[in-house]
Structure 1
Amino acid sequence: MKKILFVTSEAHPLIKTGGLADVSGSLPKALAELAQDVRIIMPNYQALKLTGDVHNIFSLRVDNRQINILATQLPDSTIPVWLVDCPEFYNYPGNPYTDENGNPWPNNAERFALFCRIAVICALDKIGQNWWPDIVHCNDWQSGLVPALLSLEKHRPATVFTIHNLAYQGLFSASRMVTLNIPGQLWNPEGLEFHNMLSFIKGGLAFADCITTVSPTYAQEIQTAAFGYGLEGLLRYRKEALVGIINGIDTQQWNAETDGYIPQRYNADTLQDKVHNKTALQQRVGLPINGQVPLFGLISRLVEQKGIDMVLDCLPEMLTMPMQFVLLGSGDKTFEQRLQALAAANPDKIAVTLGYDEGLAHLIEAGADIFLMPSRFEPCGLNQMYSQRYGTIPLVRKTGGLADTVIDTSAASLADGTASGLVFNEANAGALLEAIKRSLLLYHLPEQWRQMQVNAMGKDFTWRHSAEEYLQVYAKLQP
């Protein structure tokens, strides 16, 4: 059994802005089910959705500030959660990283440097809990200073640093080194310095005993200039310590047999019942009820990374085909306006809902025939895995976790029972449109289509599989 301190800036269901929270809420639970002793540490934000008892287990002063370590549990689990309580830094409403206008909090460097320092104090068992972790597992830039600070300690736990999205690096002015009281020996090009900026993420990449990221393909991609954001050289240098492990998904929440959000539950043996969810979806978003035309679904942030511009370029030609398109998402205002204009002009073909709605998201996964994910890059991705569990065929670009979780449909993959989606290579509208046309041809071959659905629904995307891979990583590490 390993004792694991899981350091994260968010964890579902306590607080969530993205995929990091899903991982932080699920992986510790999966590790605990494999008999590991896991504790989570995160900041005590004002917006946390706390349900259980919260009590103070330790108080200390750091930089002349009173800090309390509070203890609670991850909801619906026995996982202990330690909350770093410093009202001056964390008692703000809403998002952990940005204000209501989407601007980063001006003191983010101070907020997360303090969080890292307290995590190190806890990792060295200086809070009187008589609990010394074997592994300190850090996640994304907000916890990047932890491996760097621990590297200066004589007796320390082993460190793992997981990259969820390398695009976010925690870059601050070099002058913050002094105000944050970061030891000077960490300030060099091999350490925290990045083009004369202070880089939090480099603390993890340069000093962690092992680096992981959220899919094997993304682990390769971030070693290239196209995906490395200037850190590809460091990642190539550390490639022996770099491992890609695909994220799991919550298979209780996303399960067509038990989903409370959808009107008709079904499984691989009762796929004929899926059409009732299609009808319900068409009704809900105001599209004509038609069980014969393929219904494309898309749930996404409306940003270039997700390939929304490519979808917009394809939609005029898609409108000439027998199909319908339903979209749920928000993001770039220009994309939002263009999508709304297309939907208003073509109400029998396109339905757009801006924002996010959990119930509608589940209904799209269950009711759509084809799910579009033409991402330019996608470290892991979740919706392509949700889609396969619901027998909704994902149409994806070959990148990151999409490449690792969707098997393209060909004569060979149909024959060997692995075909589970449609994959295209180039990040342009022409390649996407060709894949869309291919999906329409396959849709009208009922036997092949059903085989693809059955293959997809049989795939194992549970967290247990991912947790076992993390255990293999932990087992190789010696502090």
Structure 2
Amino acid sequence: MRILHVAAEIFPLVKTGGLADVVAALPVALAARGLDVRVLLPGMPAILNGVRDQKPLIRLGPAFGAAVITLQLGRLPDNGLLAYVIDAPFLYRRDGDPYLGPDGRDWNDNHRRYALLGWIAAHLAAGELDETWQPEVVHAHDWHAGLAPAYIAQNPALNTATVFTIHNLAFRGLFPLDHHTDLGLLISGADQSALEFYGHLSFMKSALVHAKRVNTVSPTYAHEICTPKHGWGLDGLLRDRGDHLSGILNGVDYSVWDPTRDPALPKGYSADKLRGKKVCKLKLQAEMGFAVRGKTPLFAVVSRLTSQKGMDLVLACLHELRTEGGQLVVIGSGEAEIEAGFRAAAAAHPHTVSVYLGYDEALAHRIIAAADVLLVPSRFEPCGLTQLYALRYGTLPLVRRVGGLADTVTDATPGNLKDGTANGFVFDDPSSRALATRLSEACALYRDHQSTWHQLQRRGMAQDFSWADSAARYEALYRSI
């Protein structure tokens, strides 16, 4: 079976979040099952420079504002999978964030930049761009690839199966309605209702209407997005698609996230030999200018610094965290007000709070390895990958019971501790008080019950969140259509 994955990001070339990790790992896991898998990517500078052995297949254009478009075929640097790259210099050769300009605002031609991605996918599905390979399934990821199912659906000669994965429903790919003239799609009658969303175009809505199957990245999130609370105005449409909507939990690429042989760590470790984790902690404490104390609870945030991720709750709990004798290290970027709050906290308490604004993959690995607790107090969370990384590294997640967090973290209640199912800490109410209470309880367990803490660490490290099971579920989904 021939599968084409369509996405705007892929680790390690372009990454703004977990989407890039999924797009890097899932195709490899599917290929290991014997499927013929390729990836289609926009020609951002890092992708053009990172995909190796590229050869031009066909030159197109003008289209979508670009005078010249070249579709190239090469191989991904880490795994050798074949990847199509759309080299459209006018649209993609821009440094920095793949969606935002230097001013922090969306590029004003993003609708054309990502419509081209879907349009090329449809023409590959039609067999028009590569005479040697034609996908049977086009799997589009998030709003950036959301028009691929629409372009395919509007060609009556195509019977290509389409799957659309929602990685975060909050990002709906919204544009002014009059931009439809740039897209080459019908926008009248039923076709208009498939694209129009409260006076805007929505790439996400278009995908939800046109894809033969819709899935998201955890079973709980699949239920949540069908409710007004988490549906972002699309819950009615998602309920209508209920028979064709599913949730498949994301996996972890354990070739990248493995504490026994992670090159970013000062010392490797395993569930049976946790000494190396303490070494990682002491070295990070020294690096951050903290007191170097193995028995001091070290908390970590590896996240976008946004209210969706509950980062305002973390800021509101800093007094309790410090009162408990804890230290906090933060890596990420996001909303200006929350970034400013963390900067101020680090300036006021340099020996207990450290903040790195931006993203550094190696530093993120070192932080997750060094920390005792990872804070993920999200207001909503489609899947979450950092809590899965934390479990693998013997770092206990402290999370809200939402989305994929609810599917992967089992609270350290007395009953769950007794029956051996607990692997972290969970709270329900999206309030700083609820977070502070659970944080204090985690500190008490850390101080007073080290043997229980080590049991939780080993249980988390032993759990299997690899892509094998999820890839099997995706294959079954493809074969069903």
Give the corresponding residue for 1:299: 302
Q: CA deviation at 1:414?
A: 1.9
CA–CA separation in structure 1 for the residues paired with 2:471 and 2:72: 27
Amino acid at match of 2:59: S
Moved more, 103-112 or 448-457: 103-112
CA–CA separation in structure 2 for the residues paired with 1:102 and 1:315: 28
Alignment of 1:214-363 (within 5 A): 214-363=217-366
Give the corresponding residue for 2:98: 96
Amino acid at match of 2:462: G
CA–CA separation in structure 2 for the residues paired with 1:318 and 1:247: 31
| Structure 2 residue 63 is matched with structure 1 residue 80 | no
Moved more, 29-38 or 153-162: 153-162
Compared CA separation, residues 342 and 98, structure 1 to 2 (3 A):
closer
Alignment of 1:137-156 (within 5 A): 137-152=139-154, 153-156=156-159
Q: CA deviation at 1:190?
A: 4.2
Q: CA deviation at 1:93?
A: 2.4
Give the corresponding residue for 1:385: 388
| Structure 2 residue 35 is matched with structure 1 residue 36 | yes
CA–CA separation in structure 2 for the residues paired with 1:66 and 1:106: 20
SS in 2 for 1:336: helix
Compared CA separation, residues 333 and 170, structure 1 to 2 (3 A):
closer
SS in 1 for 2:273: helix
Give the corresponding residue for 1:55: 55
Q: CA deviation at 1:21?
A: 1.4
SS in 1 for 2:96: coil
Give the corresponding residue for 1:453: 457
Aligned partners of 2:187 and 2:195 also within 8 Å:
no
CA–CA separation in structure 2 for the residues paired with 1:343 and 1:58: 52
Q: CA deviation at 1:405?
A: 1.0
Amino acid at match of 1:270: K
Moved more, 41-50 or 436-445: 41-50
CA–CA separation in structure 1 for the residues paired with 2:121 and 2:207: 14
Q: CA deviation at 1:229?
A: 0.9
Moved more, 269-278 or 253-262: 269-278
CA–CA separation in structure 2 for the residues paired with 1:268 and 1:215: 27
- The number of residues matched between the two structures is 476
CA–CA separation in structure 2 for the residues paired with 1:393 and 1:177: 47
CA–CA separation in structure 1 for the residues paired with 2:475 and 2:350: 51
| Structure 2 residue 42 is matched with structure 1 residue 46 | no
Amino acid at match of 2:151: L
Aligned partners of 2:121 and 2:138 also within 8 Å:
no
Compared CA separation, residues 210 and 460, structure 1 to 2 (3 A):
same
Give the corresponding residue for 1:409: 412
Give the corresponding residue for 2:110: 108
CA–CA separation in structure 1 for the residues paired with 2:226 and 2:240: 9
Moved more, 438-447 or 349-358: 349-358
CA–CA separation in structure 2 for the residues paired with 1:373 and 1:131: 42
Compared CA separation, residues 326 and 17, structure 1 to 2 (3 A):
closer
Partner deviation per Cα, 1:110-143 (whole Å, 9 max, x = no partner):
2222222221111110124232211110111121
Compared CA separation, residues 318 and 61, structure 1 to 2 (3 A):
closer
In structure 2, the gaps of 5 or more residues are none
Amino acid at match of 1:110: R
Partner deviation per Cα, 1:65-119 (whole Å, 9 max, x = no partner):
4432111111122311111222222222222222122211111112222222221
Q: List structure 1 runs of 4+ shifted beyond 3 angstroms.
A: 60-66, 184-190
Aligned partners of 1:375 and 1:397 also within 8 Å:
yes
Q: CA deviation at 1:185?
A: 5.1
Compared CA separation, residues 434 and 34, structure 1 to 2 (3 A):
same
Give the corresponding residue for 1:127: 129
CA–CA separation in structure 1 for the residues paired with 2:184 and 2:295: 65
Amino acid at match of 1:131: W
CA–CA separation in structure 1 for the residues paired with 2:43 and 2:339: 34
In structure 1, the gaps of 5 or more residues are none
Compared CA separation, residues 47 and 441, structure 1 to 2 (3 A):
same
Amino acid at match of 1:375: S
Aligned partners of 1:47 and 1:94 also within 8 Å:
no
Amino acid at match of 2:99: Y
Aligned partners of 1:187 and 1:193 also within 8 Å:
no
SS in 2 for 1:228: coil
Give the corresponding residue for 1:471: 475
Aligned partners of 2:384 and 2:405 also within 8 Å:
yes
Q: CA deviation at 1:162?
A: 0.4
CA–CA separation in structure 1 for the residues paired with 2:207 and 2:248: 17
Aligned partners of 2:384 and 2:404 also within 8 Å:
yes
Give the corresponding residue for 2:25: 26
CA–CA separation in structure 2 for the residues paired with 1:299 and 1:206: 34
TM-score after normalising by structure 2: 0.95
CA–CA separation in structure 2 for the residues paired with 1:473 and 1:121: 23
What CA RMSD, in Å, does the superposition of the two structures yield over aligned residues?
1.8
